[in-house]
C-alpha cells in the first residue's frame, strides 16, 4: 500500500507523517508532496518518498498520485490569507487532487476538514449529520471553502472519500495553543473550545485511512473535554485578565462536536481526553 500525504510541512502534517511512518507495515510506503525539496528531507530521513511540486500544479499532482493506493489530503490555507488563496487551496486544489487520484486508480481519499464547517451552534454537540449553517464566530472563506471541498469530493463517483473534521488542534509544541489567546481576549470566561491533541488527530486519521469500511463517510475527531477561556489562559501559564469574566458568550455550543460516531464505528478513544491530561503528560 502506498499512501500520499499532502500538507506534510504544516502544523498537522509535520506531526502526522512521522506517526504514519512509525506504524507502517514492511510492505507499506509513504509519499509526501512538498513545494521545496529541502522541506522534504526530514521525511526522507524517516523513510518517506518525496515528490516536489505545488498542490495547485496538475502535472505535479499527476506525479504525486501515480501508483498510490490512498491519499490523505492535509493541505490547507488557514485564516489570515486572502480569500482567493483560501478558495484556491482548500476547495479547488483539493477537488483537483481528488480527480487526479481517481484517474490514477487511488481507492481511498481521506480529506482533512474542520468542525468550523458547521457554522453556528445547535444547542447541543454537533453531529456529522448536521448541515452547514453559515454564520457565527469566525465564519469566513476558510470555513466556506472547506465545506465546499467536502461536498464536491463526496460527489466524485468511483473514489472512496472519508472526511475527518478537526476542532482546535494543539500539542507537541504547536504554537496554536499560545496563539489562541489572541482570540480568547474577546471571549466570555465560560466560552468553551473543542480541542484535539495531535496524537489523537493522527489516531483518528489513521483509523479513517485503514478501516476497511466505515459507516460515515464524515467523522468528527475530538477529545472529551472542551476547555473554557479561563482554562486557556491557565494552560498557557498566563494570568487571567481581570475583566475577562464580565463578557457574555453569544454561542456556548459553538464548535462543540460529538464523537459518538467515530467511537462507535472505528473504536476511537482519545490518548489525551483533555488538554489537562496532555499538560500533565508533558505533551503540550
Q: Taking all residues of the chain, what is their mean pLDDT, rounded to a whole number? A: 94
C-alpha–C-alpha distance, residues 74 and 58, integer Å = 17
**Does the global pTM surpass 0.85?**
yes
**Tens digits of residue pLDDT in 116-163:** 999 998 999 999 999 998 887 778 999 999 999 999 999 999 999 999
User: Which phi and psi (to 5°) does residue 258 adopt?
Assistant: -80, 140
**Tens digits of residue pLDDT in 161-171:** 999 999 999 99
Side-chain-facing half-sphere of 183: CA atoms under 13 Å: 15
Indicate the SS3 state at residue 280: helix
Question: Is residue 247 predicted with pLDDT exceeding 60?
Answer: no
pLDDT grade for 206, boundaries at 50, 70 and 90: very high
Query: With contact defined as beta carbons under 8 Å apart, do 170 and 177 qualify?
Result: yes
Indicate the SS3 state at residue 46: coil
- Would you give the DSSP letter of residue 133? B
Query: With contact defined as beta carbons under 8 Å apart, do 5 and 74 qualify?
Result: yes
Query: Taking the CB of residue 269, how many other CB atoms lie within 10 A of it?
Result: 12
pLDDT score, position 190: 87
- Which residues lie across from 126 on neighbouring strands? 257
Q: Residues 19, 25, 27, CA angle at the centre, nearest 5°?
A: 130
SS (H, E, C) 144-185: HHHHHHHHHHHCCCCCEEEEEEECEEECCCCCHHHHCHHHHC
pLDDT score, position 219: 98
Residue 83 CA from chain centroid, whole number: 19
**In 3D, which of 224, 229, 220 has the Cα closest to residue 266?**
220
**In 3D, which of 177, 266, 175 has the Cα closest to residue 220?**
266
Per-domain boundaries in the chain:
2-169+195-222+257-270
Q: Residues 124, 145, 20, CA angle at the centre, nearest 5°?
A: 80
Question: Is residue 59 predicted with pLDDT exceeding 70?
Answer: yes
Going by CATH, does the domain composed of 2-169+195-222+257-270 fall within 3.40.50.720?
yes
Amino acid at each position: 500500500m502506498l499512501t500520499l500525504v499532502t500538507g506534510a510541512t504544516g502544523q498537522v502534517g509535520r506531526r502526522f507523517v512521522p506517526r504514519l511512518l512509525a506504524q507502517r507495515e514492511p510492505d507499506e510506503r509513504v509519499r509526501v508532496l512538498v513545494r521545496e525539496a529541502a522541506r522534504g528531507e526530514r521525511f526522507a530521513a524517516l523513510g518517506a518518498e518525496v515528490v516536489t511540486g505545488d498542490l495547485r500544479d496538475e502535472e505535479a499532482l499527476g506525479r504525486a498520485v501515480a501508483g498510490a493506493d490512498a491519499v490523505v489530503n492535509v493541505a490547507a490555507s488557514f485564516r489570515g490569507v486572502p480569500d482567493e488563496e483560501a478558495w484556491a487551496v482548500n476547495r479547488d486544489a483539493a477537488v483537483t487532487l481528488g480527480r487526479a487520484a481517481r484517474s490514477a486508480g487511488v481507492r481511498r481519499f481521506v480529506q482533512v476538514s474542520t468542525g468550523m464547517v458547521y457554522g453556528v451552534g445547535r444547542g447541543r454537540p454537533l453531529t456529522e449529520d448536521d448541515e452547514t449553517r453559515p454564520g457565527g464566530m469566525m465564519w469566513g472563506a476558510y470555513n466556506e471553502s472547506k465545506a465546499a471541498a467536502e461536498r464536491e469530493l463526496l460527489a466524485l463517483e468511483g473514489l472512496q472519500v472519508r472526511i475527518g473534521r478537526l476542532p482546535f488542534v494543539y500539542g507537541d509544541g504547536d504554537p496554536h495553543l499560545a496563539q489562541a489567546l489572541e482570540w480568547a481576549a474577546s471571549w466570555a470566561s465560560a466560552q468553551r473550545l473543542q480541542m484535539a491533541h495531535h496524537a489523537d488527530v493522527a489516531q483518528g486519521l489513521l483509523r479513517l485511512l485503514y478501516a476497511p469500511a466505515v459507516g460515515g463517510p464524515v467523522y468528527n475527531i475530538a477529545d472529551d473535554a472542551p476547555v473554557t477561556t479561563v482554562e486557556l489562559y491557565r494552560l498557557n501559564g498566563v494570568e487571567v485578565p481581570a475583566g475577562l469574566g464580565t463578557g457574555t458568550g453569544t454561542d456556548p455550543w459553538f464548535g462543540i462536536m460529538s464523537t459518538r460516531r467515530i467511537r462507535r464505528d472505528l473504536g476511537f478513544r482519545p490518548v489525551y481526553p483533555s488538554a489537562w491530561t496532555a499538560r500533565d503528560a508533558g505533551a503540550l
